[in-house]
Amino acid sequence: MASVPYPVENLHGHAAIRKRAGFWASFVDEWIFTVDHKHLGLMYIIVALLFFVVAGLQGAAIRIQLMYPNNTFLSPQTFNRVFTMHGTTMVFFVGMPFIAGVANYLIPLMIGTRDMAFPRLNALGFWLSLFGGILLYSSYLAWAGPAGTGTAPDVGWFAYAPLTEKAFSPGSSTDFWILSIIMSSVGSTVTAVNILATALCLRAKGMTLARMLLLVWMFCVVAFQILVALPPLTAAQIMLLLDRFLGAHFFDTYAAGDAVLWRHFFWLFGHPEVYILIIPGFACVTEIIPVFARKPIFGRAAMIGASVSIGFISLGVWAHHMYTVGLPSRANIFFAVATMLVGVPTGIKIFNWIATMWGGRIRFRTPMLWCTAFLFQFLIAGLTGIMLAVAPFGWQLGNSYFVVAHFHYTLIGGLLCTLFAGVYYCFPKATGRMLSETLGKWHFWLLIIGFHVTFDDLHIAGLLAMPRRIYTYPAGRGWEGFNYFSTWGVAIQGVAILIFVWNVLDSLIRGKKAGNDPWDAWTLEWGTPSPPPAYNFATLPEVRSSRPLWYLKHPEDPDWKYEQA
């Protein structure tokens, strides 16, 4: 194995200042006022994981309530609050910060530069996201109000108007929901600006767009989608605020306002959001599978094309969430066809990942295990997605537990698995220590088993017409067994997450030293020390192919024999 290709000099000054300043002062200096992309990236991920625990507990509470028919673990009001907070937190304060963290940490390292294009904007984005989350949760502290309508929002993460109008949602809880999400959306928007500006403007010498890593390409697509798809939500929320506080009539159906308009605006954001969340998962898989299959990615150009086309097509499929609204059948047909069209580039990707593994010398370390599980689970999620895209089928199963099972398959079976893959893959780079393989495998198998026990049965409960968002159900509908086992699945997942937390804490202290390049990878970030210094690269690297470290390690077999520049 080659030594570190980019020699690192010790930067004097910074450490000395830290020594002089004392612990708290340096902590504040290093973590609160930081504009370093690596610190911000880690802070994003830590925040996301904390919110993940909270929202995961809320999910567990939902499952406990639904474990038996006529259960009284949660009151109907509390149940509504819990499922609203679970969905909102998972999407806006777990998924979004996590992908922002991954982007922040990896993109500058992968394109060979020292920081994001707008470091202070970057810090602003982080703090807005964090305070958005805190604002949402501070709703619990709000006064309950005369009608007991305060505390946490209970309108669902979709907040369908006119049920969110003042007449139906008095009190301040809905305002907490609106304002916290506007705040974090602004944070996400500035992060997206930063991602695009960094990837397009700060690449190392020689790294043309054709040689840019696929992860960075995919994050560019995500950033574009954020820029285009988040504003509709913000706009709709501004309208809702005007309705609630100034007596405007956007969604007030008594004064010619329109309830369907909210659903259009919300899902115009909501569906691209699904891709905003899952494409970073694709990005992680695309970087990890080649390294562990010891082969370059199959069909690089096709991968880029597929990502970009997903980015565009996904902007035109939103109304497949609205089959039950009663749109004209021409609209339903259009959105059904458009939705199926998204399956084509996604299929290309799955084909390419499998083709990359095909004939490779696969090493099933923990990151690769997550990626392999992702391939199976995401395929199933995609297939149930195609089923729901068929308008008559979607019309039958819309608002049933089949939908719940489908999107948890994409978000846990797809996104969460890939993010764990990314964490296991990049933990050595970020901390200098390896995560334990043994505990990692326990974590992996328990989570996968728990996940399948939880959500496989919910497909069937959905097919048996169990509606979503109900706080309880009568006995004798045939749903009891599925719900019972589903809740036990959550317990297994909980154990898996505990093992993960233990693994992280333990490895931080006692983990095996990672070295610079524990996976024998070939992208630029592995050419830096672990953890990378504040300036990333002592000398900015120069790049000759899409696998910059490969030709330094294997000068006898460089990529440019096969690659067109």
Partner 1 sequence: MSTVASLPIPPVIEDAHNFDRGKVGLICLILTEVSLFSIFVTAYLFFIGKSTSGPQPADVLTLPVWATICLLSSSLTAELAARSLHTGLKGRVQLWLGITILLGAEFLRQTAVEWNKLIHTDHLTIATNVFGTTYYLVATTRRNPCVHPRTERQIFPDARHLPVGSNNSGPLRDGNAPIAFGRVRPDEDGDDPVRGAGNAKIARGVNRHQSVAGIELSVVAQSHRNCLLQRRHRRIRG
Which tokens is 240 given?
A: 């809702």
Q: Please pick, from the candidates 230, 288, 322, 338, the single residue that binds partner 1 as defined by CB under 8 A.
A: 230
Q: Using the rule CB under 8 A, is 207 a contact of partner 1? A: yes
Q: Using the rule CB under 8 A, is 249 a contact of partner 1? A: yes
Question: Which C-beta is closer to partner 1: that of 208 or that of 324?
Answer: 208
Q: Which residues 79-138 are close enough to bind partner 1 by CB under 8 A?
A: 114, 117-118, 120-121, 124, 128
Q: Please pick, from the candidates 72, 208, 324, 438, the single residue that binds partner 1 as defined by CB under 8 A.
A: 208
Residue 94 amino acid letter? V
Q: Could you tell me the smallest distance in angstroms from the CB atom of residue 538 to partner 1? A: 7
Question: Which C-beta is closer to partner 1: that of 237 or that of 436?
Answer: 237
Give the E-state strand segments of 446-516 in sequence order. none
Q: Using the rule CB under 8 A, is 232 a contact of partner 1? A: yes
Q: Using the rule CB under 8 A, is 30 a contact of partner 1? A: no
Q: Please pick, from the candidates 1, 3, 24, 205, the single residue that binds partner 1 as defined by CB under 8 A.
A: 205
End-to-end CA gap in the chain? 26
Can you give the C-alpha Rg of the chain in angstroms?
24
Q: What is the DSSP letter of 436?
A: P
Q: Using the rule CB under 8 A, is 7 a contact of partner 1? A: no
Q: Could you tell me the smallest distance in angstroms from the CB atom of residue 21 to partner 1? A: 20
Residue 240 amino acid letter? L
CB 400 within 8 A of CB 465: yes
- The closest of 239, 292, 269 to 158, measured between CA atoms, is 269
Q: Using the rule CB under 8 A, is 538 a contact of partner 1? A: yes
Which tokens is 509 given?
A: 């202290």
Contacts of residues 342-346 at CB distance under 8 Å and 24 or more positions apart, as own/partner, are 342/310, 342/313, 342/314, 342/317, 343/382, 343/385, 343/386, 343/389, 344/309, 345/305, 345/306, 345/307, 345/309, 345/310, 345/313, 346/306, 346/310, 346/382
Q: Using the rule CB under 8 A, is 15 a contact of partner 1? A: no
Q: Using the rule CB under 8 A, is 242 a contact of partner 1? A: yes
Q: Please pick, from the candidates 239, 288, 350, 504, the single residue that binds partner 1 as defined by CB under 8 A.
A: 239
Binding span for partner 1 by CB under 8 A among 159-167, 246-254, 432-440, 505-513: 246-254
Q: Distance between CA atoms of 496 and 124, rounded to whole angstroms?
A: 34
Return all residues near 376 (Cβ < 8 A) that are at least 6 apart. none
Q: Using the rule CB under 8 A, is 275 a contact of partner 1? A: no
Q: Could you tell me the smallest distance in angstroms from the CB atom of residue 366 to partner 1? A: 33
Residue 105 amino acid letter? Y
Q: Using the rule CB under 8 A, is 255 a contact of partner 1? A: yes
Q: What is the DSSP letter of 55?
A: H
Q: Could you tell me the smallest distance in angstroms from the CB atom of residue 227 to partner 1? A: 4
CB 18 within 8 A of CB 26: yes
Per-residue x/- marks for partner 1, 485-524, CB under 8 A?
A: ----------------------------------------
Q: What is the DSSP letter of 533?
A: P
Q: Please pick, from the candidates 55, 130, 161, 182, the single residue that binds partner 1 as defined by CB under 8 A.
A: 182
| Binding residues with partner 1: total (CB under 8 A) | 69
Q: Using the rule CB under 8 A, is 228 a contact of partner 1? A: yes
Q: What are phi and psi of 542, to 5 degrees?
A: -120, 145
Identify the sign of the CA torsion 490, 491, 494, 496.
Answer: negative
CB 444 within 8 A of CB 366: yes
Q: Using the rule CB under 8 A, is 257 a contact of partner 1? A: yes
Q: Please pick, from the candidates 42, 202, 289, 317, the single residue that binds partner 1 as defined by CB under 8 A.
A: 202
Kindly list the residues in this chain that would bind partner 1 in the complex (CB under 8 A): 9, 11, 114, 117-118, 120-121, 124, 128, 182, 186-187, 189-190, 192-193, 196-198, 200-209, 223-224, 227-232, 234-236, 238-239, 242, 246-250, 255-258, 261, 265, 268, 535, 538-539, 542-545, 551, 555-556, 558, 560-561, 565
